[in-house]
Each structure stands twice: as structure tokens, then as C-alpha cells.
Amino acid sequence: MDRTQLLIGVAVALFSIGLVGVVVRRNVLVMLMCMELMLNGVNLSLITFAQQTATTVGAVVVFLVFVVATVEIALAIPIVLLLVRDRHTLDIGAYNELRG
Amino acid sequence: MLTLIVVLPLVGFLLNGILATRLGGNVVGNRFVTVVGCGLPIASFALVVASCLTLAAGGYAPLVEVAYRWAQIGDGSFEVAFYFDRLAAVMALVVTGVGSVIHVYSVGYMKDDPSYGRFFAYLNVFLFFMLLLVLGRSLLVLFVGWEGVGLASYLLIGFWFDDLANARAGKKAFITNRVGDAGFLLGMFLLYTTFGTLDMDRINAAFGGTAPVVSASLVGLLLFIGATGKSAQIPLHVWLPDAMAGPTPVSALIHAATMVTAGVYLVARMAGVYVHAPEASAVIAVVGVATAFFAATIALVQTDIKKVLAYSTISQLGFMFLALGVGAYAVAIFHVVTHAFFKACLFLGAGSVIHALGGEQDVRRMGGLAKKIPLTFWTFAIATAAIAGLPPLAGFFSKDEILWFAFASTRGGTPWLWVVAAATALMTAFYMFRLLWLTFLGRSRMSAEVEHHVHESPWSMTGVLVVLAVLSAVGGFIAVPHFLEPQLALPAVHESLHAAETPLVVVSVVLALAGLAAAAFLFGGPSERVERLRARFAGVHRVLSAKYFVDELYARLIGRPLVWISDRVFLRLGDRALLDGTLHGMAALGRASGRVLARIQTGSLHLYAWLVLAGIAGALIWSSRHG
């Protein structure tokens, strides 16, 4: 198993852990962290492919993803804070007002 | 110079319309309005006179002045060009001349009206459009003027729009005219597709040259439909009597002297087409004489002083169309001129009477005014004699020539046209002298209150009356047909009928005198004579008073079906069922599907994530299969 395959494997693992975390965990903060994991898994795969093909496009996209992730967290954390201040719980099941 | 003639009244409209109305805050006083509103039309008149001198100096070669290129479409170009020849000169002189004196008259008549500035603004804009109509070289420019005078007429009929009846009368005039305009437009389209130009001199020339490629009668009839609307001929005559709702100077200027003669002008201007259109000419003659006859019969029994004059106007317009129909275009224009003089005088005289009586218009509550307002009486009497056709006043000459050509023209003159026209002339004399008697002579039938306040009008009004009365008296000596002959040749006359000319003149004078005598006998004597006559012909009287039930007929035939179709088909079926139904159906569909789809909106974030996951997986599988 060469290095590229290893790195891709790590990326897939990160993404899968994140995905499973988002799907099964009920804690809002943990779900957010899992989302970050998924983003990082994607980033890793991008970097790997960029190196393999010897181009810079992938690296540039990674920076873009960083920015998006930062902004997302910057928005998500205050939302979570407001939610918690209202209901005093981090359980996602408590916030289902949009149910049809 | 021609452009300036047209533009000056527009300037007056803009100045008065902006500065002297509530729109602009009434920043100027009535004195300014008077100076601008009357001064600019008079300046226009002076320029027309100057143009006539230029025309004469140039050997009567038409003056052409291109003011503006309106549009260039392919090879065709539409220009706002003015064309000044003998015909345009006569019409422009009448429009600006009679127009100016009526402006001056309005100064006295409208003095106490709160919307003094608005009135003059409207009058000026009317004059602008009328001059555009008369001086335009292309049918398109003429049409702009044609619609513009319709607009001015609408605004002025409904000038006192606080009264719903006035607003309705304005609307009726506007809508009735639209019917005619449809024909006019179709005629224009036909001419443009055929000749590629709308310049009237070119079209006339094109018809005169090689074999015409389009039926002259079709073009002629379509344009005549437009003329019936504007000039209130059967079957579109219904708007003119109602148009009397406007202020009296408006009735004099627009609904008697100038605008309603636009149809006559149009036909005379397109004479080059009509000489090749015997069928259309026959239609015009028959419609004209029928209108003249029926309008005169209605005028016999009307009791509103302005309504009598309105039906008289329709009748006289019928005479003009009769002349056009038998090919005597110059004679029709002659009658336009003389009619402008005496009918303006009559209307303004009626305005003076109404002014004196504080708004009373019913002749049954007048009488014996001759001594109290002598100047109005004498001018009114002269104009009455002129319209009745007593020699040597203006109406005698023009009407007599119309009768003669209706009898003897080789372009469709026949004895029966003469018989109907002569009968109409007799009725004209009768109803006009009836009006004179009921208004000015005999016993007073006014209330003491009104009688006490009767007063002669100010000099700005009576002066105008005198001017117009003088013109009504001597206007017949202006040889308009002779002046126009190089442009609009008179039709040939049947050789065999030449001997009949003098007897016919004698007959028409006798008819006029007979009308006078009959009116004097009936209305000068005891009132039982009239009562007995009315009792004997009660049925006829009822039909005439109701104006042959034409309005009712139109309401039944056109109004009601239209309302029915609008209500049932357009409103209930089209609007409510089809349009609203479709939209409501779509809204209901959306709501129903929303109710179903809302079920999967569980509020559980995990389910959503699973669904997203399944979606991504599905997309990946699909793309790997088909990639």
C-alpha cells in the first residue's frame, strides 16, 4: 500500500467518522465537530490528489474550504448558544419546531 | 411660418395649462390668461393671413414646410410636414379667425368661472390640434390632429365634470368617434400598403394617374366612416346633441364652426380619390341628405335652445356632405365657411341669452327678450335669416349652390335629392324662425325673478356677435368656390337642366319665406294654434321629441348585448371561471401537495442526515453506473 492510498484511506475514514457522528449523535456540539471532521476528510483528499497530479488547484480549493468552515462555525456557535440559552439542553431532539 | 401658426396655440396651452391651473398652483391671474389665451390665437390668425399673401405672391403654388422627421422605417419616412394650398388657406382662415373671436367672447362668458385658466388652456390645445389637422400634409399628421380635437372636445364637453351627465356626454362623444376612427385607420392602412405614402397630395396624384391598383370606392368609404363620426352623420350622429353639455363658446367653436367640419374637409382634401369613386360618392350624398332631413325634423320640436342649434348643425353638415357626394367639393367648403359664420353667431347669441337669463336654456321659459337685449336679438335675427337662406345673406348663396348641384350635377345629382334637400331647407327656415320667435318675440314666459335680472352681455361678447353677424350677412359674397376652382373643379352640369337654374333659385327663396311665414303664423299668434297642431300629430311629436329613439335603439342593439357578453362571457366565464379558476386551482394543488409533503418534515435532524446520505449514495452509484 503506497502513501497515496494510505492518505486517501485516512481521508475516507475521517469523512465516514464525521458522517456517522452527524447521523447518530444527538449532541449539537458533537454534530458540529463531526461536520468539521468531514470537511477535513475532504481537504485531505483534495491535497492528496493535488500532489499526485502536481497541480495547485486542489490546494487553492482547500483554502476556500477553510474559509467556508470558519464562517460556518462562526455562525453556528452563536446559534447553538442562543438555542441553549432558550432550552438549557444540547439535545437536538428538543429543537423540532419545524416539523410539518 | 406654417410651423409657427400651429405651435403658437400650443404655447398658449402650455403656459395657461401649467401656470393658470390648480396643477401649477394658479400662479398667474386671469389677466395673464386672457392675454395669452386670446393673444396667441390672434397672432396665429395674423400669420395665416401673412401665409395667404405669400401663397398669392407665389402664384398659388402650395407652400410645403417640413417641421420634423418623425420616423424612418425602411424606405418610407414619416414627416411632420405642413402643406398650405388654397383649400388649407380657406380652412385655416376660418379656424383661426372664428376661433380667435370665440376666444375673445369667452373672456366675458367664462369670467366668473373658477376654472378660467383651464378653459383657455383647453381652447388653445383644441386650436393647436385643429390647425395640425388642417395644415398637415400627411394623413398621419391629419389623424393626430383628428384625435387631438376629439380629445379637446371630450375635455370641453365634460368641462363641468362635477355633473355626472356632462362627464357622460363627453364619454359618449369620445366612444362614438372611436367607431368612426376605426374606419379611418383601415383606410389609412390600405392607402399606405398600396402607395407607400400617406401624403395626401401624392395620393390624389396617384389616383389621377395610371389605373388605380386599389378600389377608390373602398378607400373612400373607409375614410367616410371616419368622417361620419367626426361630422356627426347618420348613424354616428348621436353624440353631437349631447355635446351641448359643454360651455356655449365650446359648442360654437368645436361643435358648430370648426371641428365637426373636419369630416367635410377630409373628403374635400381627398377629392382626388372621390372623383374616381362614384359608388362612395353616392353613399355620401344619400347619407348627407338623409342626415340633413332627419336632423331637421328633430329640430322642429326641441325645446332646449342649444339642442335646436345642435340638430340644425347636424342638418347643415348633412347639406355639406350632400354637396361632397355630388362632386361639388368647393361648394361644400363654401358652406363650411358661411356656416361657421352664422352658426357661431347663433350659438354665441344663444350663449348671450343663457348668460342674460342666468343659465336658463328652455325656450318655453323665454320670450319677449328682443327689447331687453336688443343687440343679441338683432345679431341672432341676422344669423337666423342667413341660415334660413334669405337673400342676400351668406346662407342663401352656399345653400342655393348645394341645391343646384344636388339637382343638376353630372356626378350623381338627381331631382329627388333636390326635393329632399329643398324640404329640409323649408324645415330649416321654419325651426329657426320658431326659435327666434319663442326666444325673443311674443309674450314673456319668464319668472319675475329671472326677468328682473335680464341684462345685455358685456362688450367683449356683443362685439363678437356684431362681427359675426356682419360676416353672416356679407359672407356669401366671398367667392369661395371660385377661389378654390383651380384646385377643386366644380362638377359639370347636365346641359338640358340649365334652364331650370333661375326657377330653382326662386323656389328656394319662396321656401325660406314660407318657413318664415309658417313660424310667424304659428308662434306669433295665439298659442292655441300650436297646441291644436301638437294634439293632432301627437304620435309624430312623440317620435320626434324622442329623436326617433335612436339612442334607445343603440342601447338595445349594441349596449345591452355588449353588457351581456361582458358580464357572462368575459367576466363570469373568462375572468372568474377561466383565469381565476386556473389560479385558484393551482393554489389548491400546491396546498394539497404541501399537506402531503409536510409529513416527511419530521423535525428530526438525524432523519434528514440519513436522507442526505442516501441521496449522496444514490447519486454516486448512479454516476458510477453511467459515468
Q: What is the model's pLDDT at position B367?
A: 82
Give the separation between CA B392 and CA B404, rounded to whole angstroms. 17
- Residue A31 at interface with chain B, using a CB cutoff of 8 Å: yes
Contact A100 B598 (CB under 8 A): yes
Query: Is B598–A98 a contact, with Cβ atoms under 8 angstroms apart?
Result: no
Q: Tell if the CB–CB gap between A23 and B599 is shorter than 8 Å.
A: no
Confidence at B530, pLDDT banded by 50, 70, 90? confident
Closest chain B residue to the Cα of A23, Cα to Cα: B606
* B597/A96 CB distance under 8 A: no
Picking from B226, B190, B17, the residue whose alpha carbon sits closest to that of residue B119 is B17
Which chain B residues touch A100 with a CB distance below 8 Å?
597-603
In angstroms, the Cα distances linking A41 to A15, A63, B365 are: 5, 14, 105
Report the pLDDT value the prediction gives residue B348, as an integer from 0 to 100: 93
Distance CA B264, CA B230 (A): 9
The three-state (H, E, C) secondary structure of chain A, written as one string: CCHHHHHHHHHHHHHHHHHHHHHHCCEHHHHHHHHHHHHHHHHHHHHHHHHHHCCCHHHHHHHHHHHHHHHHHHHHHHHHHHHHHHHCCCEHHHCCCCCC
A56 Cα to chain B: minimum distance (Å): 26
CB contact under 8 A, B605 and A100: no
* Residues B309, B486: Cα–Cα separation, whole Å: 34
* Alpha carbons B597 and B606: distance in angstroms, whole number: 18
In chain B, which residue's Cα lies nearest the Cα of A24?
B606
- Nearest Cα to Cα of residue B429 among B517, B533, B320, B338: B517
Is B359 in the A-facing interface, judged by CB distances under 8 Å?
A: no
B603 touches chain A (CB under 8 A): yes
Query: How far does the CA of residue B603 sit from the closest CA of chain A (Å)?
Result: 4
Do B613 and A100 count as a contact with CB atoms less than 8 A apart?
no
Name every residue whose Cβ is closer than 8 Å to that of residue B20 and which is 6 or more positions away in sequence. B26, B27, B28, B32, B33, B116, B117, B118, B120, B121
- Interface touch B601/A31, C-beta < 8 Å: no
Q: Please tell me the predicted confidence (pLDDT) of residue B269.
A: 92
pLDDT given at position B257: 87
What residues in A contact B620, CB-CB < 8 Å? Answer: none
**pLDDT of B343 higher than 90:** yes
For B506-523, how does the pLDDT look when each residue is reduced to its tens digit (9 = 90+)? 999 999 999 999 998 888
CB atoms within 10 A of CB B519: 22
Residues B589-603: tens digit of each pLDDT: 999 998 888 887 777
Nearest CA to CA, how far is A96 from chain B (Å)?
4
**Cβ-nearest to A96 among B600, B603, B609:** B603
B593 touches chain A (CB under 8 A): no
- Which residues, given as ranges, of chain A have pLDDT below 70? 1, 98, 100
* Alpha-carbon gap, residue B67 to B72, rounded angstroms: 15
Residue B277 three-state SS: coil
B454 backbone dihedrals φ, ψ, rounded to 5°:
-60, 130
Give the orientation angle of helix B30-57 with respect to helix B116-135, to 10 degrees. 10
Closest CA to B402 of B474, B341, B349, B324: B324
- Give per-residue pLDDT as tens, B426-469: 999 999 999 999 899 888 888 888 888 888 888 888 999 999 99
Angle subtended at Cα B231 by Cα B228 and Cα B235, rounded to the nearest 5 degrees = 40
* Cβ-contact B330, B410 below 8 angstroms: no
SS3 of residue B63 by DSSP: strand
> Is A96 touching B (CB cutoff 8 A)?
yes
ipTM score for this prediction = 0.71
Q: Looking at the complex, does the CB of residue B605 fall below 8 Å from at least one CB of chain A?
A: yes
- Whether the ω angle into residue B235 lies within 30 degrees of 0, i.e. cis, is yes
Q: What is the pLDDT of residue B316?
A: 94
Question: Pick from B597, B602, B610: which is nearest to A23 by CB?
Answer: B610
What pLDDT was estimated at residue B586? 95
| pLDDT of amino acid B476 | 87
Instruction: Note the residue count of chain A.
Output: 100
CA B308, B311, B315, B321 dihedral sign is positive
Which chain A residues contact residue B600 at CB under 8 A?
100
Task: Quick: pLDDT tens for B408-436.
Answer: 888 888 889 999 999 999 999 999 999 99
- Contact yes or no for A99 and B603 at CB 8 A: yes
φ/ψ of B261, rounded to 5, equals -85, 0
Interchain pair B606, A99: CB under 8 A: no
% chain B with pLDDT above 90: 56
When pLDDT is cut at 50, 70 and 90, the band that residue B211 belongs to is low
Give the model's confidence band at B210: pLDDT under 50 very low, under 70 low, under 90 confident, else very high: low
Please give the DSSP secondary-structure letter assigned to residue B590.
H
CB B238 within 8 A of CB B181: no
Q: Which helix (H) or strand (E) holds B51?
A: helix B30-57
Q: Judge: B606–A26 Cβ closer than 8 Å, yes or no.
A: yes
Q: How far is A55 from chain B (nearest CA, A)?
A: 24
Closest residue on chain B to A25 (Cα): B606
* pLDDT(B224) > 90: yes
State whether A96 and B599 contact (CB < 8 Å).
no
Phi, psi at B391, each rounded to 5°:
-70, 150
pLDDT confidence band for B89 (50 / 70 / 90): very high
Q: Are B188 and B149 in contact (CB under 8 A)?
A: no
Portion 35-94 of A in contact with B at CB < 8 A: 92-93
SS3 B444: coil
**B599/A100 touch (CB, cutoff 8 Å), yes or no:** yes
In degrees and rounded to multiples of 5, residue B441 shows phi and psi of -110, -175
B562 touches chain A (CB under 8 A): no
Size of interface A-B (CB pairs under 8 A): 31
pLDDT at A45: 93
Paired residues of A91 in beta bridges: A27
| B599 at interface of A, judged by CB pairs closer than 8 A | yes
Q: How far is B584 from chain A (nearest CA, A)?
A: 23
Tell if the CB–CB gap between B602 and A96 is shorter than 8 Å. Answer: yes
Nearest Cβ partner for A97 among B600, B603, B610: B603
Instruction: For residue B255, give the DSSP letter.
Output: I
Using CB atoms, pick whichever of B601, B606, B613 lies closest to residue A100: B601
Q: Of B524 and B557, which is predicted with more confidence?
A: B557
Which residue would you say has higher pLDDT here, B104 or A96?
A: B104
pLDDT higher than 70, residue B212: no
Q: How far is A3 from chain B (nearest CA, A)?
A: 25
From B597, B601, B609, residue closest to A99, measured CB to CB: B601
Interface test with B, best of A19, A22, A26, A28 (most B CBs within 10 A): A22
- Sorted by sequence, the CB contacts under 8 Å of residue B600 that are 6+ apart come out as A100
pLDDT, averaged across chain B? 90
The pLDDT score that the predictor gives to residue B250 is 92
Residue contact A23–B609, C-beta within 8 A: yes
Above 80 in pLDDT, residue B525?
A: no
> What percent of chain B has pLDDT above 70?
99
